[in-house]
Amino acid sequence: MKQFHPLTIARLDRETKDSVRIALCVPDEFADEYAFLPGQHLPFQITVDGKKLRRTYSICSAQGEMPLEIGVRVQPGGQFSEFAAKQLAVGDTLDAMPPSGQFHISLDAENAKDYIAFAAGSGITPVLSMLKSALQNEPNSRFMLFYGNRKQSTTMFIEDLYALKNLYPERLQLHFLFTQEDQEFPIMSGRLDADKVRELYAAFCTGLNPAAAFVCGPDTMIKTVTDALVELGLAPENVHAERFGVPRKGSKPKSAVATETANRATVTVIMDGHKKEFEMRRADENIVDAAADHGIDLPYSCKGGVCATCRCHLRDGEVTMATNYGLEPWEVETGFILACQSRPVSALVTLDYDKI
């Protein structure tokens, strides 16, 4: 099982008025474990007022670059982000699990591909990693970024993006959109919604055949942008999305409610080659919390169905998932589940955390 390790803060810089950039050193003995694919994230754990908090932040470094960098936007009332921005200092350590996540780009130096990305706010962090890595490692590929923010002064990593544009003038196209600042061209004003995507695509992407599109931003933006891209002719399997933040909880799905009256289930967990077993009521909140009640610490971070830190393979039995924003369709089809969102439907359930 992936474990938390303390990573030392090598640099901590203010990125914008409400965001910081943190560079983390990985001890040599863990270098292999923290090797990452561009777009992946790190689950973090801190203790505030005796309470353990977990959050996930995307890596914004290029593939292979060390120290690892993350960008943290301070959310009003956000315990973790406020702690990171106000209390951490160079030389402190932050507990982080090795990288995970299926939102990533697979690179090959022989590729000559066009990539497009739509990022909003701090959704730029995984996209920045992809963009830098693609430009560095695929000399014949091109990258086009549409990046929405309120205004220039709140735009994270804007200097990095301009520097990359100087390095790769022919292969990188940058388009900044602002909602609260007038732009020279009206097309660059406003929100990244379906109409805007259609407008931008018609203006900048005609004749382009993107090999992949990457979309990262708040929940509200993801669906409209991905649907619009599919409508414009991109194959759904080539449109990849990652949300930040945990979507607002809706009502429980019917299948979950239906289990409220059912009785108990035995859950077997296979991890690092060992088996552990516990019993839970099928109506209990979720498998991760039920395991914790039995002293079994299963991996998790967001507990909102987004980060996929709790991803495991359902070897036997049946579960119902309340939400899933973290798994790709092929993962669901091949039996992967999010344990933080799952409740047993069958009386026996076996989860395999060793299967990748």
Q: Which residues bind ligand FES (CB under 6 A)?
A: 300-310, 326, 338, 340
Is the CB of 326 or the CB of 344 nearer to ligand FES? 326
Q: How far is the CB of 117 from ligand FES (least distance, A)?
A: 22
Q: How far is the CB of 246 from ligand FES (least distance, A)?
A: 8
Nearest to 21 by CA among 64, 83, 85, 94: 85
Are the beta carbons of 306 and 296 closer than 8 angstroms? no
CA angle 293, 298, 303 (to 5 degrees): 90
Q: How far is the CB of 338 from ligand FES (least distance, A)?
A: 5
The contacts of residue 293 (CB under 8 Å, 6+ apart) are 280
Residue 137's region, left for phi above 0, alpha for psi from -120 to 50, else beta, is alpha
Burial 92-108 (b: 16+ CB within 10 A, else e): eebbbbbbbbbbbbebe
Is the CB of 304 or the CB of 344 nearer to ligand FES? 304
Is the CB of 210 or the CB of 326 nearer to ligand FES? 326
Is the CB of 37 or the CB of 338 nearer to ligand FES? 338
Residue positions counted in the chain: 356
Is the CB of 148 or the CB of 299 nearer to ligand FES? 299
Q: Write phi, then psi, for 309 (nearest 5 degrees).
A: -60, -30
Q: How far is the CB of 331 from ligand FES (least distance, A)?
A: 12
Are the beta carbons of 325 and 347 closer than 8 angstroms? no
Is the CB of 265 or the CB of 288 nearer to ligand FES? 288
Integer Cα distance of 148 and 91 in angstroms: 33
Q: How far is the CB of 323 from ligand FES (least distance, A)?
A: 9
CA contacts within 13 A on the Cβ side of 286:
19
Round to the nearest angstrom and report the end-to-end CA distance of the chain. 11
Tell me which residue has its CB nearest to ligand FES.
340
Q: How far is the CB of 279 from ligand FES (least distance, A)?
A: 21
Is the CB of 56 or the CB of 133 nearer to ligand FES? 56
Q: Is 264 helix (H, G, I), strand (E, B) or coil?
A: strand
**Residues in a beta bridge with 66:** none
Q: How far is the CB of 324 from ligand FES (least distance, A)?
A: 8
Are the beta carbons of 120 and 149 closer than 8 angstroms? yes
DSSP 126: H
Is the CB of 96 or the CB of 177 nearer to ligand FES? 96
Integer Cα distance of 92 and 24 in angstroms: 10
Q: How far is the CB of 48 from ligand FES (least distance, A)?
A: 19
Is the CB of 116 or the CB of 269 nearer to ligand FES? 269
Q: How far is the CB of 131 from ligand FES (least distance, A)?
A: 25
